[in-house]
Amino acid sequence: MSDYILRVREISKSFSGVKALDNIHFDLKKGEVHALMGENGAGKSTFMKILIGLVSPDSGEVLLENENLVGNNVNETLKKGISMIHQEILIIPELTVAQNIFLGREREVSGKSGLLSGWLNDSEINQQAAALLDRMGVNIAPKAKMKHLSVAQMQMVEIAKAISNNAKVIIMDEPTSAISDKEVATLFGIIRDLKAQGVSIIYISHKMDEIFRISNTITVLRDGKYIGTKSAAELDQHALIAMMVGREIDQMFPEATQPVGKEVLSVRNLGRTGKFSGISFNVKSGEILGLAGLMGAGRTEIARAIFGLDKWDEGEITVKESPLRARTPREAIGRGIGYVSEDRKGLGFIPRMSVKDNITLSSMSNHRKGGFIDTHSEQSVTEKMIADLKIKTAGTGQHVTYLSGGNQQKVVIGKVLLASPEIIILDEPTRGVDVGAKFEIYKLIRSLADRGMAIIMISSELPEILGMSDRILVLSKGKQTALLSKVEATQELIMRYAVA
């Protein structure tokens, strides 16, 4: 079996008595893209950390070309040929592209020894970086400062760094979570080139369509256990989900049970210089309006404007026929608008505050007794919300930073719900959330609509937009290009308007 570059045997790891990984096997062929799938908490990240030498397993072997790497630290594994492109890209923004690529290896590049080895050789670094980026076929200047690059370009730089390390195995953790479709195509092109050169890729993503587009083989983990490895051709989406969640989910998207009511929110000719213009739509009670479009089409910007996070320059927003005036989040909340941001960490919650303190943060006026906080009412409301939304937490006093992504998302949704909204804007509500929790969030969104709320849902996942929305507003480059009904909308039609 010489065509296997990496063989992982019987890896187990426990953290304070809890088995995170139980007897995991993983075989990686030379020059293949091998997707590692599993819900959050399945053990993917622990497994990755073991591969790159960040965590040491309790038992088992990691054989890279028959050499056991267990016991090596991150730097040693890196030198032996395993690189990882992290989901949150690790770069030094003030340094140049070339300086970032060769960071920590300046001595090797300068080729000097003795006293002179501390001397930088930037021209050599720039030349080598230029050659490298050229070979990858990407158009990035080696002398550009990292901070001026797009996320996709930064990713390319990370890949260049991995290649310059002579990586035999490159691990990519959710590489497309923050880049546009066009950039995804470029990335996939580079992945194919790497394959052709015999580099193996371990690919982690929550996006099913990508997995089937790019990978040769798929391995599934669930609850820290190895479930199976199949060739991508043998599987379809349905079968893969079943492997991941351990049960069949027949209907991913719940149907509406209530008719649509009266108009609640109306946006007329809304515009913000340089971001979007001429945006007009309305949302009715009980309706889910999908906002579709490519990255940078202005969807989030429109949501932020409605919620008062950004100012806008022209047009009008009315809630039940009376316009918004102060244009602040506080006014929006007071008028019944709730916003669940795509930027959960940045705008969603306060990490070092408890579940209770986070969940009641937008509705503190309901818990005022005299001049003080009524802790009892806070407590009971929080317990009820935890039960309603099935939030998995050690208690109301648990800090939100310790919850999983899906549960953090539910805390944010809980906070929004407690402010009694009539309109909820959900921006990429299932990003970074695993399949099982996705299904629960879909059910929740539909039940909110059925309870009479008007929902605006932004999503980059077309199946999600198609499955959930009653109407779909398509945006392209800050302009609205179509308003489609559920019956006429198809993936192809949406894409055609999204690139218009």
- The dihedral built from the CA positions of residue 233, 237, 242 and 248, taken in this order, carries a sign that is negative
The CB-side HSE value for 494 (13 A sphere, CA atoms) comes to: 26
- The dihedral built from the CA positions of residue 484, 487, 491 and 496, taken in this order, carries a sign that is negative
| Cβ nearer to other proteins, comparing 178 with 482 | 178
Residue at 497: amino acid letter: Y
Give the number of residues in contact with other proteins, rule: CB under 8 A: 29
- CB of 315 vs other proteins, minimal distance in Å: 22
| Cβ nearer to other proteins, comparing 361 with 499 | 361
Residue 163 CB burial class (10 angstroms; 0-12, 13-18, ≥19)? buried
| Cβ nearer to other proteins, comparing 162 with 324 | 324
CA distance 485 to 287: 12
Say if residues 215 and 175 touch (Cβ distance below 8 Å): no
Cα dist from 200 to 74, 76, 82, 86, whole Å: 19, 19, 10, 16
Q: Please give the backbone phi and psi of residue 193, each rounded to the nearest 5 degrees, phi first.
A: -60, -45
- CB of 364 vs other proteins, minimal distance in Å: 5
- CB of 337 vs other proteins, minimal distance in Å: 10
Helix %, strand %, coil % for the chain, to 5? 40, 25, 35
- CB of 117 vs other proteins, minimal distance in Å: 33
Closest CA to 373 of 356, 350, 395: 356
By CB under 8 A, name the one of 151, 309, 483, 493 that touches other proteins: 309
CA distance 246 to 254: 20
Residues 269-308 that bind other proteins (CB under 8 A): 307
- CB of 210 vs other proteins, minimal distance in Å: 30
| Cβ nearer to other proteins, comparing 80 with 299 | 299
- CB of 349 vs other proteins, minimal distance in Å: 6
| Cβ nearer to other proteins, comparing 109 with 411 | 411
The CB-side HSE value for 83 (13 A sphere, CA atoms) comes to: 21
- CB of 493 vs other proteins, minimal distance in Å: 34
- Would you give the distance in Å from CA 282 to the centre of its chain? 28
Residue 74 tokens, joined: 């991150």
Q: Is 311 in the site for other proteins (CB under 8 A)?
A: no
| Cβ nearer to other proteins, comparing 206 with 415 | 415
How many CB atoms within 10 Å of residue 298?
23
* Binding track over 397-416 against other proteins, x by CB under 8 A: ----x-------------x-
Q: Please give the backbone phi and psi of residue 3, each rounded to the nearest 5 degrees, phi first.
A: -80, 0
* Binding track over 210-239 against other proteins, x by CB under 8 A: ------------------------------
Residues 325-384 that bind other proteins (CB under 8 A): 329-330, 332-334, 339, 341, 346-353, 357, 361-362, 364-365, 368, 371-373
- Would you give the distance in Å from CA 201 to the centre of its chain? 19
Residues 453-482 that bind other proteins (CB under 8 A): none
| Cβ nearer to other proteins, comparing 364 with 483 | 364
| Cβ nearer to other proteins, comparing 228 with 395 | 395
- To 5 degrees, how large is the angle CA 46–CA 47–CA 53? 90
CA distance 72 to 329: 50
Residue at 278: amino acid letter: G
* Binding track over 417-446 against other proteins, x by CB under 8 A: --x---------------------------
Residue 159 tokens, joined: 């890949």
| Cβ nearer to other proteins, comparing 260 with 347 | 347
- CB of 360 vs other proteins, minimal distance in Å: 8
- CB of 367 vs other proteins, minimal distance in Å: 8
| Cβ nearer to other proteins, comparing 25 with 367 | 367
- CB of 277 vs other proteins, minimal distance in Å: 24
| Cβ nearer to other proteins, comparing 293 with 421 | 421
| Cβ nearer to other proteins, comparing 115 with 372 | 372
Instruction: End-to-end CA distance of the chain: give it in Å, rounded.
Output: 50
- CB of 37 vs other proteins, minimal distance in Å: 26
- CB of 305 vs other proteins, minimal distance in Å: 13
What is the four-CA torsion angle of 417, 421, 427, 432, rounded to 10 degrees? 10
Contact residues toward other proteins (CB under 8 A) are: 307, 309, 329-330, 332-334, 339, 341, 346-353, 357, 361-362, 364-365, 368, 371-373, 401, 415, 419
